[in-house]
Amino acid sequence: MRAERYRLVAAAAAAAGLVLTAAACSSSNSSSGAAASGGGGKVTISINCAPPAAQQPVQHKEWLDDIAIFEKANPNITINSVYNYPCEQPATFTAMLRGGTEPDIFYSYFTDLPQVLLSGQAADITQYVNAKTVPTLPDILPGAMKAVTAGKTIYGIPTSNYTQGLIYNRKLFQQAGLDPGQPPTTWADVEKDAAAIAKLGNGIAGWGDYSAGNTGGWHFSSYIDAVGGSMVNQNTAPPTANFNTPEAQQILQVLHDMRFKDHAMSATQGLQWGALQQQFAAGKLGMYIAAPDDIYNVIIPTDKGNLDDIGMGPLPSISGTPAASLSGGNDYIFAKHDTRAQIEAGLKWINFESLTPGTGQFNFARLKADGFPDGFPEPQLFQGTTGSAVNDLRAKYATIKTDYYKPFVAANEAAAGEPTDAQAVYKTLDPVMLAVLTEPNADIPSLLKTATTNVNTILANAG
């Protein structure tokens, strides 16, 4: 997810399967938001996901400042901003594609590419994307580039990437006699620590999880990635469910035991995105899994949690070393109606705003000056020398206690992406998670067997 603070809450919510209410869209220079090449070598490009002044005044000012800097350096290019928050609302996004009303460069989630290609609204930009037009291209994580690529054809540029980890309350750890510098890394230790935290009483739960709104299956998928498995076997035709394993049964059994044997989870279940963040911010939850943006986008600004109480570790696994994490992110897709000049101009803007250490979203000096919590290990977009440059700047201007996030950073979890037909798969696993967390006599093998059958049916009919 992600240092693009004005873009990321929507992305997290979409990954969780939520439908959010979109703000009205407007364009700074055009009532339609469409752009066309101008004469005399001039070109105008429209781009959405610009932060509106009403909802995000500081981010709005930063955006306008960046446009001014960019247009001064590139006087032949005009940026036509389309202001919308959140950046993508699923129903509106679908309607936009069906109507062909997308701006020249439009925001999407990594999981949107199949829908975009089915609509026929994306331009092939492969011939324009190289280390000259996008200097940091060699260091963009392969998984992020995969999200904007079909076969060997590139349709967009990734602008953020995230993996999940364990978010935990350091204050509750200390109160429970646990070491706040040593978050649990195995499921056995998660259960032990969750039980210790729950014994504090006063309505405090040691562990929290989702089981509704596609979010239960979303978390379950990350648990499977962490033990080296995968939700879907992509090497069969059609793809097939791949999650009915001994490791999956073991994880679900720990969750069931925490709920009914250790009484380390709340009796209120059927939760979805938003509930755990509220509980955590209120000091009523010890641990749950999420990406770092949950902290700086939700727990702190929205739910008024205490930043000094928060730490992050790697995803729990059986061995204590996570093999991977479910990952995701955002990108910009180029519309099929774009001219060559618009594609080239769009690449210049994205390179400046989203891909260059020290500018745009990686202008950590400005983030600090504008009062944003600075130094979170996100977006995780680069490796190599670019990744090192971003991390150096992040550390230089950090305003948070970066030591609290070292266990998560040190784990360096591999990005596993999301499964085929992700939201349908997640929805099918929600009932499994709900049964495990609400039924004292849940039959875990039977639940997984039924879910496997249902997912195989979905995958067989996909596409």
For 118-164, the pLDDT digits (tens) are 999 999 999 999 999 999 999 999 989 999 999 999 999 999 999 99
Angle in degrees, 0-180, between the axes of helices 246-260 and 444-461, rounded to the nearest 10: 130
Same domain, 298 and 355: no
What is the Cα–Cα distance from 427 to 406, expressed in whole angstroms? 33
Question: Residue 347 above 90 pLDDT?
Answer: yes
Residue type, position 23, single letter: A
**Mean pLDDT value across residues 207-234:** 96
Q: How far, in Å, CA of 400 to CA of 309, rounded?
A: 11
Whether the predicted pLDDT of 34 surpasses 70 = no
pLDDT at 77: 98
Confirm whether 154 is domain-assigned. yes
- pLDDT grade for 230, boundaries at 50, 70 and 90: very high
The pLDDT of residue 299 is: 95
| pLDDT for 18 beyond 90 | no
Instruction: For residue 302, tell me if it sits in a domain.
Output: yes
Q: Indicate whether 224 pLDDT > 90.
A: yes
pLDDT, tens digit, 9 for 90 and up, residues 268-279: 999 999 999 999
Q: What is the pLDDT of residue 19?
A: 30
d(CA 221, CA 351): 32
> Measured between alpha carbons, how far is 388 from 379 in angstroms, rounded to an integer?
13
pLDDT band for 40, please (50, 70, 90 cuts). Answer: low
Q: Confirm whether 2 is domain-assigned.
A: no
177 and 156 in a common domain = no
The reply to whether 224 falls in a domain is yes
Instruction: Please compute the mean of the pLDDT values over residues 285-292 and round it to a whole number.
Output: 97
Range of the domain at 170: 165-325+421-461
**Distance from CA of residue 384 to its chain's centroid?**
21
Per-residue pLDDT averaged across 369-373, rounded? 91
177 with 276, same domain?
yes
Mean pLDDT of 403-423: 91
| pLDDT at 418 > cutoff 70 | yes
Burial classification of residue 440, based on how many CB atoms lie within 10 Å of its CB (0-12 exposed, 13-18 middle, 19 or more buried):
exposed
Over range 189-208, report the average pLDDT: 98
Average pLDDT over every residue of 260-284: 97
pLDDT at 86: 85
What does the pLDDT average to over 161-190?
A: 97
CATH number of the domain bearing residue 106? 3.40.190.10
Pair (341, 249) in one structural domain = no
pLDDT at residue 436 is higher than 80: yes
Specify if 3 maps to a domain.
Answer: no
pLDDT at 421: 87
Residue-level pLDDT at 463: 59
Give the pLDDT band of residue 29 (cuts 50, 70, 90). Answer: very low
Contacts of 390 (CB under 8 A, 6+ apart): 357, 362, 381, 382
Residue type, 190: V
Banded model confidence at residue 55, pLDDT cuts 50, 70, 90: confident
pLDDT value at residue 462: 79
Confidence check: pLDDT of 231 > 60: yes
Rounded mean pLDDT of the chain? Answer: 90
Q: Are residues 338 and 273 in the same domain?
A: no
Distance CA 164, CA 162 (A): 7
Q: Which long-range contacts (CB under 8 A, 24 or more apart) does 435-438 make?
A: 436/211, 436/252, 436/255, 436/256, 436/259, 437/209, 437/211, 437/255, 437/256, 437/259, 437/265, 437/269, 438/211, 438/269, 438/270
Query: Which letter does DSSP use for residue 382 in this model?
Result: B
* Half-sphere exposure (Cβ direction) of 81: Cα atoms closer than 13 Å: 19
Q: Are residues 91 and 157 in the same domain?
A: yes
Q: What pLDDT was estimated at residue 103? A: 98
Q: Are residues 376 and 365 in the same domain?
A: yes
Confidence of residue 312 (pLDDT cuts 50, 70, 90): very high
In a domain? residue 416: no
Q: For residue 89, name the pLDDT band (cuts at 50, 70, 90).
A: confident
Q: Does any domain span residue 1?
A: no
Residues 452, 458, 460, 463, CA torsion sign: negative
The number of residues making up the chain comes to 463
Reported pTM: 0.82
99 and 127 inside one domain: yes
Handedness of CA 459, 317, 326, 216 (dihedral sign): positive
Do 210 and 159 sit in the same domain of this protein?
A: no
Burial class (CB in 10 A: 0-12, 13-18, 19+), 32: exposed
Total domains present in the chain? 2
Average pLDDT for 25-51: 62
* Angstrom distance (rounded) from CA 383 to CA 413: 12
The reply to whether 93 and 202 lie within a common domain is no
Confidence grade of residue 8 (pLDDT, cut at 50, 70, 90):
very low
Radius of gyration of the chain (CA): 22
**Amino acid identity at 113:** L
Task: Tell me: do 52 and 151 sit in the same domain.
Answer: yes
Quote the percentage of the chain above a pLDDT of 70.
91
pLDDT tens for 314-340 read 999 999 999 999 999 999 999 999 999
CA distance 344 to 234: 34
pLDDT at 22 over 80: no
Q: What percent of the chain has pLDDT over 90?
A: 83
- Is 173 among the domain residues? yes
Query: 28: how many CB neighbours lie within 10 A of its CB?
Result: 15
Same domain, 218 and 236: yes
Q: How far apart are CA 375 and CA 396, in angstroms?
A: 8
pLDDT in tens, 95-112: 999 999 999 999 999 989
